[in-house]
Amino acid sequence: MKRRRSRISASPVLVGAITAVIAVVSVFFSYNANKGLPFVPTYKVKAELPSAASLVSGNEVRIAGVRVGVISEVNAEQLDDGRSIAVATIKLDKSVEPIPEDSTVLVRQRSAMGLKYLLLTPGKSDQGLKSGGTLPESQAEEPVDMDQWFNMFQEPVRKAIQKNLAEYGGGFAARGADINQLIQDLPPLLRVAEPVAKNLSSRQTDLHGFVRGLAQAAAEVAPVAETQADMFVQLDTTFTALAEVARPYIQDSITEGVPAELAVIRNGPRIRPFLLSSARFMKELYPGARALGRSAPIVADSFDIGIPVLRSSPQLYDQLAPTARSLRRFGENASVNDGLNTLISTQKILTPLLRQVTPSQNVCNYVALLLRNVASATSPSNPEGNWVRAVGVLPPLGPNAEGGPAATYAQGGGTYQTSNLNYLHSNPYPNTAAPGQSPRECEPGNAPEAWNTQGNWVLAPQIGNYPGDSGIVTENQSEKQLNWVTK
């Protein structure tokens, strides 16, 4: 009996194991591809760098833009002077072995995302760098990245550059044909731009001062930039509305504007004297117009009231004639004139008296108070008639009292019961807010109060006006009386 040969595909376990091994080997080779394929001979050197500039293991090494190797590792080392540098280990292809000893290296950006590569520039030396050799730091250039270049500007400038880049990018987007046309039209412009540039660069032109003035103007306008932008938006709305009437109305106004200006030029010298006289007239009329503006309501009311009066004026005119005749006869009567003269003399005699007496009522309200007290004294009544209220006042007794002989005026003498009344109070001409009296006060009824040593209320002893200002407040005074001023 023949023995069957076993096949690998007949065993699923064996097939799965082989597949797993192949996958692991593929992943291994893929992972190490950036560091060079295994089992491939390389030319290894080192390079000292002032800064690794984010260079990492696996980055490419290029010569003239061609990939010739990779970075296997990057380490930091400290020199004897205390400085720290980066040492990159490089695996190069055998095809570039050996590189000249004076070759230089520079870390460059591979993309805008931050990926780096090492640029190797072969030198001109006849001596080649042996495998394992090192390119010294002196042959490495200091890299300057784009972000470092922009960092030399202040933050406001960087933000302005970003904004300009975004605005110019949006402005040039989808305008390639226009830019090509612009480049085509530039040569004729550039040929005539040379004398213009010479004039601009001349000191007499003062382009520096012009630009500085523009900068100052821009600085002044900057706070209202948003307002101006809004103004342009509103202007767009305005011009959109004007576009509907641009033809024929605005167009006709522009067309007819030239003949109108020519007519003004011809007739201007003729009407100039008239305009000058009108200006002078308006200047003189301005105060009256301003006063008329204030008095216009009064004038309007006078017309409203005057119209009915004028309607009845014929009847008044008919009655004025006999009235005037009667007044004439009255004026020609000698006895009337004598009576008027006597009345005038009486008024002249009474004026000083009335000027002194009038404030007693107009300010102090004394007449009204007197009449009120008289009415109050006779107010009690019965069926037989009214009563008059009265109180008997006896003079106090004691030395120098009012009830007997005295050697001097009463000044507090007497018994305990009467000493608080034994004072002389005399003020024949009190202040009643009359002209010439100072202070302006209503003194009667406002005498100052005092307490004696026994705790009883008395009037302070005083002959004449009391010191101080008693005020003008009495009783039942109106607001007009309190504000009345004696003239």
Q: How does pLDDT run across 165-190, given as a tens digit for each residue?
A: 888 888 888 888 888 888 888 888 88
Q: What's the whole-number mean pLDDT along residues 11-27? A: 66
Residue 346 — very low, low, confident or very high, per pLDDT cuts 50/70/90? Answer: very high
Question: Rounded distance, CA 100 to CA 126, Å?
Answer: 7
Q: Is the pLDDT of residue 416 over 80?
A: no
Q: Is the pLDDT of residue 372 over 60?
A: yes
What is the tens place of the pLDDT at every residue in 267-294?
888 888 888 889 999 888 888 888 888 8
Q: Is the pLDDT of residue 338 over 50?
A: yes
Residue 421 — very low, low, confident or very high, per pLDDT cuts 50/70/90? Answer: low
User: Beta strands 462-463 and 425-426: pairing type?
Assistant: parallel
* Least-confidence region, from 37-41, 152-156, 393-397, 461-465: 37-41
Residue extents of the structural domains in the chain: 41-150, 333-376+397-487
Which residues have CB under 8 Å from 404's CB, separation 6+? 397
Q: What's the whole-number mean pLDDT along residues 23-48? A: 65
CA dihedral sign, ordered 236, 238, 241, 243: negative
What is the tens place of the pLDDT at every residue in 152-167?
888 888 888 888 888 8
Question: Rounded distance, CA 335 to CA 398, Å?
Answer: 65
Residue 10 — very low, low, confident or very high, per pLDDT cuts 50/70/90? Answer: low
Residue 367 — very low, low, confident or very high, per pLDDT cuts 50/70/90? Answer: confident
pLDDT score of 460: 55
Q: Give me 421's structure tokens.
A: 């009344």
Mean of per-residue pLDDT scores for the chain: 79
Q: Is the pLDDT of residue 398 over 70?
A: no
Of residues 90 and 486, which shows the higher confidence score?
A: 90
Which residues have CB under 8 Å from 141's CB, separation 6+? 104, 105, 106
Residue 38 — very low, low, confident or very high, per pLDDT cuts 50/70/90? Answer: low
